[in-house]
Structure 1
Protein backbone atom coordinates (compact mmCIF):
# COMPACT_ATOMS: atom_id res chain seq x y z
CA UNK A 1 0.00 0.00 0.00
CA UNK A 2 1.27 3.47 -0.89
CA UNK A 3 0.99 6.02 1.89
CA UNK A 4 -1.45 8.87 1.40
CA UNK A 5 0.36 11.63 -0.47
CA UNK A 6 -0.10 15.33 -0.98
CA UNK A 7 -2.03 16.31 -4.10
CA UNK A 8 0.23 18.03 -6.63
CA UNK A 9 -2.22 18.48 -9.53
CA UNK A 10 -5.98 18.79 -9.21
CA UNK A 11 -8.34 19.16 -12.18
CA UNK A 12 -11.87 20.06 -11.12
CA UNK A 13 -14.89 20.12 -13.40
CA UNK A 14 -12.86 21.25 -16.42
CA UNK A 15 -14.69 21.93 -19.67
CA UNK A 16 -12.68 22.85 -22.74
CA UNK A 17 -14.12 23.88 -26.10
CA UNK A 18 -12.83 24.31 -29.64
CA UNK A 19 -15.24 26.95 -30.87
CA UNK A 20 -18.67 25.51 -30.15
CA UNK A 21 -17.42 21.93 -29.93
CA UNK A 22 -16.91 20.63 -26.40
CA UNK A 23 -13.76 18.53 -26.05
CA UNK A 24 -13.61 18.00 -22.26
CA UNK A 25 -16.84 17.47 -20.34
CA UNK A 26 -16.40 18.24 -16.66
CA UNK A 27 -13.11 16.39 -16.11
CA UNK A 28 -12.09 15.65 -12.51
CA UNK A 29 -8.75 14.04 -11.64
CA UNK A 30 -5.89 14.25 -9.19
CA UNK A 31 -2.19 13.46 -9.31
CA UNK A 32 -0.40 13.10 -5.97
CA UNK A 33 3.23 13.99 -5.41
CA UNK A 34 5.47 11.04 -6.28
CA UNK A 35 2.83 9.18 -8.32
CA UNK A 36 2.70 7.95 -11.88
CA UNK A 37 -0.85 8.49 -13.10
CA UNK A 38 -1.97 7.52 -16.57
CA UNK A 39 -4.98 8.38 -18.69
CA UNK A 40 -5.87 5.93 -21.43
CA UNK A 41 -8.40 6.28 -24.19
CA UNK A 42 -8.89 5.96 -27.91
CA UNK A 43 -7.52 8.45 -30.41
CA UNK A 44 -9.69 11.57 -30.27
CA UNK A 45 -10.98 10.90 -26.74
CA UNK A 46 -9.66 14.24 -25.47
CA UNK A 47 -6.44 13.11 -23.77
CA UNK A 48 -4.13 15.54 -25.54
CA UNK A 49 -6.65 18.35 -25.11
CA UNK A 50 -6.52 17.76 -21.36
CA UNK A 51 -2.73 17.86 -21.42
CA UNK A 52 -2.71 21.13 -23.37
CA UNK A 53 -5.40 22.61 -21.10
CA UNK A 54 -3.25 21.90 -18.04
CA UNK A 55 -0.45 23.79 -19.81
CA UNK A 56 -2.70 26.79 -20.45
CA UNK A 57 -3.53 26.52 -24.15
CA UNK A 58 -6.46 26.22 -24.68
CA UNK A 59 -7.94 27.70 -21.53
CA UNK A 60 -10.85 25.84 -19.93
CA UNK A 61 -14.21 27.55 -20.29
CA UNK A 62 -15.36 26.14 -16.95
CA UNK A 63 -13.67 24.45 -14.00
CA UNK A 64 -10.42 24.91 -12.14
CA UNK A 65 -6.85 23.58 -12.32
CA UNK A 66 -4.71 23.67 -9.18
CA UNK A 67 -0.98 22.91 -9.15
CA UNK A 68 0.96 22.66 -5.89
CA UNK A 69 -1.80 24.62 -4.17
CA UNK A 70 -1.85 27.47 -6.73
CA UNK A 71 -4.74 28.18 -9.12
CA UNK A 72 -3.18 28.03 -12.60
CA UNK A 73 -6.46 28.01 -14.56
CA UNK A 74 -6.00 31.45 -16.11
CA UNK A 75 -2.20 31.61 -16.14
CA UNK A 76 -0.29 31.95 -19.43
CA UNK A 77 1.71 28.89 -20.49
CA UNK A 78 5.17 30.34 -19.80
CA UNK A 79 4.21 31.16 -16.21
CA UNK A 80 2.82 27.64 -15.70
CA UNK A 81 6.08 26.15 -16.94
CA UNK A 82 8.07 28.30 -14.51
CA UNK A 83 6.20 26.68 -11.61
CA UNK A 84 7.86 23.32 -12.30
CA UNK A 85 5.74 21.66 -14.97
CA UNK A 86 7.39 20.30 -18.12
CA UNK A 87 5.77 18.58 -21.08
CA UNK A 88 6.97 16.08 -23.65
CA UNK A 89 4.25 16.68 -26.24
CA UNK A 90 2.52 14.35 -28.65
CA UNK A 91 4.54 13.99 -31.84
CA UNK A 92 7.72 14.89 -29.91
CA UNK A 93 8.04 18.40 -31.45
CA UNK A 94 11.77 18.70 -31.02
CA UNK A 95 13.58 21.47 -32.91
CA UNK A 96 14.72 19.47 -35.97
CA UNK A 97 17.25 21.98 -37.29
CA UNK A 98 18.92 22.36 -33.91
CA UNK A 99 21.46 19.91 -32.55
CA UNK A 100 20.66 17.60 -29.66
CA UNK A 101 22.72 19.90 -27.40
CA UNK A 102 20.81 22.98 -28.55
CA UNK A 103 17.49 21.23 -27.91
CA UNK A 104 18.64 20.40 -24.39
CA UNK A 105 19.74 24.00 -23.87
CA UNK A 106 16.24 25.14 -24.85
CA UNK A 107 14.78 22.80 -22.23
CA UNK A 108 17.09 24.28 -19.59
CA UNK A 109 16.28 27.90 -20.44
CA UNK A 110 13.95 28.44 -17.46
CA UNK A 111 16.32 27.19 -14.74
CA UNK A 112 19.55 28.40 -13.18
CA UNK A 113 22.40 27.91 -15.71
CA UNK A 114 24.65 26.56 -12.97
CA UNK A 115 22.63 23.31 -13.05
CA UNK A 116 23.25 22.68 -16.75
CA UNK A 117 26.33 20.44 -16.61
CA UNK A 118 24.88 18.24 -13.86
CA UNK A 119 21.58 17.95 -15.70
CA UNK A 120 23.31 17.19 -19.00
CA UNK A 121 25.21 14.37 -17.28
CA UNK A 122 21.96 13.07 -15.79
CA UNK A 123 20.05 12.87 -19.10
CA UNK A 124 23.12 11.44 -20.84
CA UNK A 125 23.14 8.60 -18.32
CA UNK A 126 19.40 8.07 -18.78
CA UNK A 127 19.69 8.14 -22.57
CA UNK A 128 23.22 7.07 -23.64
CA UNK A 129 22.26 7.33 -27.32
CA UNK A 130 21.79 11.07 -26.95
CA UNK A 131 25.28 11.43 -25.49
CA UNK A 132 26.64 9.93 -28.70
CA UNK A 133 24.63 12.40 -30.81
CA UNK A 134 24.97 15.71 -28.95
CA UNK A 135 26.19 17.54 -32.04
CA UNK A 136 23.79 15.87 -34.48
CA UNK A 137 20.70 17.71 -35.72
CA UNK A 138 17.51 16.58 -34.03
CA UNK A 139 15.75 16.00 -37.34
CA UNK A 140 18.29 13.33 -38.33
CA UNK A 141 17.59 11.17 -35.26
CA UNK A 142 15.43 8.05 -35.40
CA UNK A 143 11.88 8.24 -34.02
CA UNK A 144 12.93 6.55 -30.80
CA UNK A 145 15.90 8.89 -30.35
CA UNK A 146 13.66 11.90 -30.98
CA UNK A 147 11.31 10.67 -28.24
CA UNK A 148 14.25 10.27 -25.88
CA UNK A 149 15.31 13.83 -26.76
CA UNK A 150 11.80 15.20 -26.13
CA UNK A 151 11.78 13.63 -22.65
CA UNK A 152 15.37 14.69 -21.93
CA UNK A 153 14.59 18.26 -23.02
CA UNK A 154 11.64 18.31 -20.58
CA UNK A 155 13.85 16.94 -17.78
CA UNK A 156 16.39 19.73 -18.32
CA UNK A 157 13.77 22.09 -16.91
CA UNK A 158 13.99 20.29 -13.52
CA UNK A 159 10.24 19.69 -13.33
CA UNK A 160 8.30 18.64 -10.27
CA UNK A 161 5.60 17.33 -12.63
CA UNK A 162 6.42 15.70 -15.97
CA UNK A 163 3.60 15.54 -18.52
CA UNK A 164 4.07 12.85 -21.18
CA UNK A 165 1.74 12.82 -24.18
CA UNK A 166 1.77 9.54 -26.13
CA UNK A 167 5.48 8.71 -25.61
CA UNK A 168 5.11 5.30 -27.32
CA UNK A 169 3.42 6.61 -30.48
CA UNK A 170 4.93 5.12 -33.63
CA UNK A 171 7.86 3.44 -31.90
CA UNK A 172 9.13 -0.13 -32.12
CA UNK A 173 8.23 -2.37 -29.14
CA UNK A 174 11.82 -2.57 -27.85
CA UNK A 175 12.13 1.23 -27.80
CA UNK A 176 8.73 1.52 -26.10
CA UNK A 177 9.94 -0.84 -23.37
CA UNK A 178 13.09 1.28 -22.87
CA UNK A 179 11.10 4.52 -22.67
CA UNK A 180 8.68 3.13 -20.09
CA UNK A 181 11.51 1.65 -18.04
CA UNK A 182 13.20 5.05 -17.95
CA UNK A 183 9.97 6.66 -16.72
CA UNK A 184 9.78 4.04 -13.96
CA UNK A 185 13.40 4.72 -12.94
CA UNK A 186 12.80 8.48 -12.77
CA UNK A 187 9.83 7.91 -10.50
CA UNK A 188 11.42 5.29 -8.25
CA UNK A 189 14.90 6.80 -7.97
CA UNK A 190 14.11 10.53 -8.03
CA UNK A 191 10.49 10.64 -6.87
CA UNK A 192 9.47 12.44 -10.07
CA UNK A 193 5.71 12.86 -10.43
CA UNK A 194 4.47 11.80 -13.87
CA UNK A 195 1.14 12.30 -15.62
CA UNK A 196 1.04 10.17 -18.75
CA UNK A 197 -1.56 9.98 -21.51
CA UNK A 198 -1.31 6.91 -23.70
CA UNK A 199 -3.12 4.76 -26.25
CA UNK A 200 -0.85 1.84 -25.30
CA UNK A 201 -3.04 0.82 -22.37
CA UNK A 202 -1.14 -2.32 -21.40
CA UNK A 203 2.24 -0.62 -20.89
CA UNK A 204 0.71 2.49 -19.35
CA UNK A 205 -1.41 0.66 -16.78
CA UNK A 206 1.43 -1.71 -15.85
CA UNK A 207 3.60 1.34 -15.17
CA UNK A 208 1.07 3.54 -13.38
CA UNK A 209 0.09 3.63 -9.74
CA UNK A 210 -3.36 4.87 -10.78
CA UNK A 211 -5.22 5.37 -14.00
CA UNK A 212 -8.22 7.01 -15.61
CA UNK A 213 -10.15 6.05 -18.73
CA UNK A 214 -11.41 8.85 -21.00
CA UNK A 215 -14.16 8.40 -23.57
CA UNK A 216 -15.44 11.35 -25.63
CA UNK A 217 -14.15 13.95 -23.18
CA UNK A 218 -15.57 12.16 -20.12
CA UNK A 219 -13.72 10.17 -17.48
CA UNK A 220 -15.62 6.88 -17.36
CA UNK A 221 -13.45 4.79 -15.02
CA UNK A 222 -10.65 5.18 -12.52
CA UNK A 223 -8.65 2.93 -10.22
CA UNK A 224 -5.18 1.55 -9.64
CA UNK A 225 -3.30 0.45 -12.72
CA UNK A 226 -3.67 -3.18 -11.68
CA UNK A 227 -7.43 -2.79 -11.11
CA UNK A 228 -8.01 -1.26 -14.52
CA UNK A 229 -5.94 -3.94 -16.24
CA UNK A 230 -8.33 -6.52 -14.82
CA UNK A 231 -11.53 -4.71 -15.82
CA UNK A 232 -13.31 -6.53 -18.64
CA UNK A 233 -14.41 -3.24 -20.24
CA UNK A 234 -10.80 -2.06 -20.36
CA UNK A 235 -9.50 -5.39 -21.69
CA UNK A 236 -12.15 -5.50 -24.40
CA UNK A 237 -11.76 -1.89 -25.52
CA UNK A 238 -8.03 -1.28 -25.14
CA UNK A 239 -6.26 -4.63 -24.83
CA UNK A 240 -7.76 -6.39 -27.88
CA UNK A 241 -9.90 -8.67 -25.77
CA UNK A 242 -7.14 -9.30 -23.26
CA UNK A 243 -4.29 -10.02 -25.74
CA UNK A 244 -1.19 -7.88 -25.60
Structure 2
Protein backbone atom coordinates (compact mmCIF):
# COMPACT_ATOMS: atom_id res chain seq x y z
CA UNK A 1 0.00 0.00 0.00
CA UNK A 2 1.41 3.40 -0.98
CA UNK A 3 1.66 6.19 1.63
CA UNK A 4 -0.89 9.00 1.66
CA UNK A 5 1.91 11.56 1.30
CA UNK A 6 5.22 10.79 -0.38
CA UNK A 7 7.99 13.36 -0.82
CA UNK A 8 10.89 12.24 -3.01
CA UNK A 9 14.23 13.96 -3.72
CA UNK A 10 12.63 17.36 -3.16
CA UNK A 11 14.69 20.48 -3.91
CA UNK A 12 13.26 23.96 -3.33
CA UNK A 13 14.99 27.29 -3.91
CA UNK A 14 14.43 30.89 -2.91
CA UNK A 15 16.22 32.61 -5.78
CA UNK A 16 19.69 31.06 -5.79
CA UNK A 17 19.44 29.82 -2.19
CA UNK A 18 18.65 26.11 -1.89
CA UNK A 19 16.27 25.67 1.05
CA UNK A 20 15.42 21.96 0.58
CA UNK A 21 18.22 19.67 -0.51
CA UNK A 22 16.78 16.34 -1.62
CA UNK A 23 14.14 15.68 1.04
CA UNK A 24 12.57 12.21 1.24
CA UNK A 25 9.77 11.30 3.64
CA UNK A 26 6.41 9.56 3.83
CA UNK A 27 3.20 9.94 5.84
CA UNK A 28 0.89 6.93 5.95
CA UNK A 29 -2.88 7.20 6.25
CA UNK A 30 -4.00 7.57 9.85
CA UNK A 31 -0.59 8.56 11.19
CA UNK A 32 0.67 11.58 13.07
CA UNK A 33 4.13 12.27 11.67
CA UNK A 34 6.20 15.03 13.26
CA UNK A 35 9.06 17.01 11.76
CA UNK A 36 11.41 18.71 14.19
CA UNK A 37 14.48 20.84 13.68
CA UNK A 38 15.97 24.20 14.57
CA UNK A 39 14.96 27.59 13.16
CA UNK A 40 15.87 27.90 9.49
CA UNK A 41 16.17 24.15 8.93
CA UNK A 42 13.58 24.24 6.13
CA UNK A 43 10.56 22.79 7.95
CA UNK A 44 8.04 25.47 6.98
CA UNK A 45 9.45 25.57 3.44
CA UNK A 46 8.69 21.85 3.13
CA UNK A 47 5.05 22.34 4.15
CA UNK A 48 4.66 25.26 1.78
CA UNK A 49 6.26 23.29 -1.06
CA UNK A 50 3.80 20.43 -0.47
CA UNK A 51 1.04 23.05 -0.90
CA UNK A 52 2.59 24.33 -4.14
CA UNK A 53 4.06 27.68 -3.06
CA UNK A 54 7.02 27.86 -3.46
CA UNK A 55 7.19 25.36 -6.30
CA UNK A 56 9.69 22.51 -6.08
CA UNK A 57 12.48 22.83 -8.61
CA UNK A 58 13.29 19.09 -8.56
CA UNK A 59 11.65 16.03 -7.06
CA UNK A 60 8.09 14.88 -6.49
CA UNK A 61 5.22 15.30 -4.06
CA UNK A 62 2.60 12.55 -4.32
CA UNK A 63 -0.76 12.39 -2.59
CA UNK A 64 -2.20 8.89 -2.45
CA UNK A 65 0.03 7.99 -5.40
CA UNK A 66 -0.96 11.00 -7.55
CA UNK A 67 1.74 13.48 -8.53
CA UNK A 68 0.63 16.90 -7.22
CA UNK A 69 4.04 18.62 -7.53
CA UNK A 70 3.03 20.98 -10.33
CA UNK A 71 -0.60 21.57 -9.38
CA UNK A 72 -1.68 25.07 -8.31
CA UNK A 73 -2.35 25.45 -4.59
CA UNK A 74 -6.15 25.65 -4.92
CA UNK A 75 -6.21 22.28 -6.71
CA UNK A 76 -4.03 20.74 -4.00
CA UNK A 77 -6.60 21.91 -1.42
CA UNK A 78 -9.37 20.33 -3.49
CA UNK A 79 -7.39 17.07 -3.55
CA UNK A 80 -7.64 16.99 0.25
CA UNK A 81 -4.63 18.85 1.68
CA UNK A 82 -5.22 21.61 4.25
CA UNK A 83 -2.66 23.69 6.11
CA UNK A 84 -2.79 25.59 9.38
CA UNK A 85 0.15 27.89 8.68
CA UNK A 86 2.84 29.28 10.93
CA UNK A 87 1.65 32.55 12.43
CA UNK A 88 -2.00 31.41 12.04
CA UNK A 89 -2.80 33.89 9.21
CA UNK A 90 -6.47 34.13 10.02
CA UNK A 91 -8.53 36.92 8.47
CA UNK A 92 -8.43 39.48 11.32
CA UNK A 93 -11.34 41.66 10.15
CA UNK A 94 -13.63 38.70 9.58
CA UNK A 95 -15.61 37.09 12.38
CA UNK A 96 -14.85 33.60 13.65
CA UNK A 97 -17.80 32.27 11.66
CA UNK A 98 -16.67 34.04 8.48
CA UNK A 99 -13.15 32.61 8.86
CA UNK A 100 -14.62 29.12 9.16
CA UNK A 101 -16.81 29.75 6.12
CA UNK A 102 -13.66 30.65 4.17
CA UNK A 103 -12.20 27.28 5.12
CA UNK A 104 -15.22 25.52 3.68
CA UNK A 105 -15.28 27.16 0.22
CA UNK A 106 -13.82 24.10 -1.53
CA UNK A 107 -16.33 21.63 -0.06
CA UNK A 108 -19.96 20.66 -0.60
CA UNK A 109 -22.16 23.23 1.24
CA UNK A 110 -24.37 20.37 2.40
CA UNK A 111 -21.67 19.42 4.93
CA UNK A 112 -21.22 22.91 6.37
CA UNK A 113 -23.55 22.80 9.38
CA UNK A 114 -22.27 19.42 10.58
CA UNK A 115 -18.64 20.42 10.07
CA UNK A 116 -19.21 23.70 11.91
CA UNK A 117 -20.75 21.93 14.89
CA UNK A 118 -17.82 19.50 14.95
CA UNK A 119 -15.32 22.37 15.08
CA UNK A 120 -17.34 24.14 17.78
CA UNK A 121 -17.51 20.93 19.83
CA UNK A 122 -13.73 20.63 19.52
CA UNK A 123 -13.11 24.30 20.35
CA UNK A 124 -15.99 25.59 22.54
CA UNK A 125 -14.27 28.98 22.84
CA UNK A 126 -14.82 29.50 19.11
CA UNK A 127 -18.54 28.80 19.53
CA UNK A 128 -18.70 31.45 22.25
CA UNK A 129 -16.94 33.94 19.96
CA UNK A 130 -18.53 33.04 16.63
CA UNK A 131 -19.50 36.66 15.92
CA UNK A 132 -16.26 38.19 17.21
CA UNK A 133 -13.60 39.46 14.81
CA UNK A 134 -10.61 37.15 14.47
CA UNK A 135 -8.11 39.91 15.16
CA UNK A 136 -9.56 40.47 18.65
CA UNK A 137 -9.05 36.87 19.77
CA UNK A 138 -6.21 35.76 22.03
CA UNK A 139 -3.23 33.95 20.49
CA UNK A 140 -4.54 30.59 21.62
CA UNK A 141 -8.00 31.28 20.24
CA UNK A 142 -6.50 32.38 16.92
CA UNK A 143 -4.60 29.09 16.75
CA UNK A 144 -7.81 27.17 17.42
CA UNK A 145 -9.44 29.17 14.63
CA UNK A 146 -6.59 28.42 12.20
CA UNK A 147 -6.89 24.68 12.88
CA UNK A 148 -10.69 24.83 12.73
CA UNK A 149 -10.57 26.70 9.41
CA UNK A 150 -8.28 24.00 7.96
CA UNK A 151 -10.62 21.24 9.18
CA UNK A 152 -13.61 22.90 7.49
CA UNK A 153 -12.15 21.88 4.11
CA UNK A 154 -12.60 18.18 5.10
CA UNK A 155 -8.95 17.31 4.41
CA UNK A 156 -7.46 13.88 4.02
CA UNK A 157 -4.12 15.33 5.11
CA UNK A 158 -3.80 18.10 7.72
CA UNK A 159 -0.54 20.07 7.75
CA UNK A 160 0.16 21.90 11.02
CA UNK A 161 2.98 24.44 11.11
CA UNK A 162 4.19 25.41 14.60
CA UNK A 163 0.78 25.23 16.34
CA UNK A 164 2.33 25.88 19.79
CA UNK A 165 4.37 28.94 18.78
CA UNK A 166 4.02 31.81 21.25
CA UNK A 167 1.31 30.15 23.34
CA UNK A 168 1.11 29.71 27.12
CA UNK A 169 1.91 26.18 28.39
CA UNK A 170 -1.71 25.47 29.38
CA UNK A 171 -2.95 26.42 25.90
CA UNK A 172 -0.17 24.34 24.29
CA UNK A 173 -1.39 21.27 26.20
CA UNK A 174 -4.95 21.94 25.03
CA UNK A 175 -3.89 22.33 21.38
CA UNK A 176 -1.87 19.10 21.40
CA UNK A 177 -4.72 17.25 23.11
CA UNK A 178 -7.06 18.35 20.30
CA UNK A 179 -4.53 17.26 17.64
CA UNK A 180 -4.39 13.81 19.23
CA UNK A 181 -8.19 13.71 19.46
CA UNK A 182 -8.60 14.62 15.77
CA UNK A 183 -6.29 11.74 14.87
CA UNK A 184 -7.84 9.15 17.19
CA UNK A 185 -11.53 9.94 16.74
CA UNK A 186 -11.62 11.06 13.11
CA UNK A 187 -8.69 9.02 11.78
CA UNK A 188 -7.21 12.26 10.43
CA UNK A 189 -3.72 11.98 8.92
CA UNK A 190 -1.53 14.74 10.35
CA UNK A 191 1.89 16.05 9.36
CA UNK A 192 3.10 18.25 12.20
CA UNK A 193 5.99 20.71 12.04
CA UNK A 194 6.91 21.80 15.53
CA UNK A 195 9.81 23.35 17.45
CA UNK A 196 8.53 21.98 20.74
CA UNK A 197 10.27 18.67 20.19
CA UNK A 198 9.05 17.05 23.40
CA UNK A 199 5.35 17.50 22.58
CA UNK A 200 5.86 16.72 18.90
CA UNK A 201 7.69 13.44 19.53
CA UNK A 202 5.34 12.37 22.32
CA UNK A 203 2.42 12.78 19.97
CA UNK A 204 3.97 11.23 16.86
CA UNK A 205 3.70 7.70 15.55
CA UNK A 206 6.83 8.47 13.51
CA UNK A 207 9.08 11.49 13.21
CA UNK A 208 11.83 13.05 11.15
CA UNK A 209 14.62 15.45 12.07
CA UNK A 210 15.59 18.17 9.60
CA UNK A 211 18.83 20.16 9.53
CA UNK A 212 20.02 22.56 6.83
CA UNK A 213 17.35 21.46 4.35
CA UNK A 214 17.98 17.72 4.73
CA UNK A 215 16.40 14.87 6.67
CA UNK A 216 19.14 13.69 9.02
CA UNK A 217 17.29 11.20 11.22
CA UNK A 218 14.00 9.33 11.46
CA UNK A 219 12.27 6.81 13.69
CA UNK A 220 9.25 6.36 15.92
CA UNK A 221 8.42 9.21 18.23
CA UNK A 222 9.43 7.09 21.19
CA UNK A 223 12.77 6.15 19.62
CA UNK A 224 13.69 9.76 18.94
CA UNK A 225 12.59 10.86 22.42
CA UNK A 226 15.05 8.35 23.87
CA UNK A 227 17.89 9.20 21.46
CA UNK A 228 20.78 10.92 23.31
CA UNK A 229 21.60 13.16 20.32
CA UNK A 230 18.02 14.36 20.05
CA UNK A 231 17.76 14.88 23.81
CA UNK A 232 20.91 16.99 23.83
CA UNK A 233 20.01 19.05 20.76
CA UNK A 234 16.30 19.57 21.19
CA UNK A 235 14.99 18.44 24.57
CA UNK A 236 17.30 19.63 27.30
CA UNK A 237 16.21 23.23 26.85
CA UNK A 238 12.54 22.33 26.30
Range into which the TM-score falls when normalised by the shorter chain: over 0.9
Q: CA RMSD in A?
A: 0.8
**Equivalent in the alignment of 1:32:** 28
Question: Is the CA contact (8 Å cut-off) linking 2:83 and 2:159 kept in structure 1?
Answer: yes
CA deviation profile, 1:55-104 (whole Å, cap 9, x unmatched)? 00011111111001110011110000000110000000000000000000
| 1:104 partnered with 2:100 | yes
TM alignment of 1:38-187, pairs within 5 A = 38-187=34-183
Return the TM-score normalized by structure 2.
Answer: 0.99
Match of 1:7, SS?
Answer: coil
TM alignment of 1:218-229, pairs within 5 A = 218-229=214-225
Question: Is the CA contact (8 Å cut-off) linking 2:2 and 2:65 kept in structure 1?
Answer: no
Find the aligned partners of 2:60 and 2:131 in 1 and give their Cα distance: 42
1:216 positional shift: 0.6
The runs of 5 or more residues in structure 1 that have no matched partner are: none
| 1:197 partnered with 2:160 | no
Find the aligned partners of 1:122 and 1:138 in 2 and give their Cα distance: 19
1:14 positional shift: 0.1
Aligned residue pairs, count = 238
Match of 1:181, SS?
Answer: helix
Return the TM-score normalized by structure 1.
Answer: 0.96
| 1:17 partnered with 2:9 | no
Question: Is the CA contact (8 Å cut-off) linking 2:7 and 2:24 kept in structure 1?
Answer: yes
Question: Is the CA contact (8 Å cut-off) linking 2:10 and 2:60 kept in structure 1?
Answer: yes
Find the aligned partners of 1:16 and 1:162 in 2 and give their Cα distance: 21
Question: Is the CA contact (8 Å cut-off) linking 1:6 and 1:33 kept in structure 2?
Answer: no
The runs of 5 or more residues in structure 2 that have no matched partner are: none
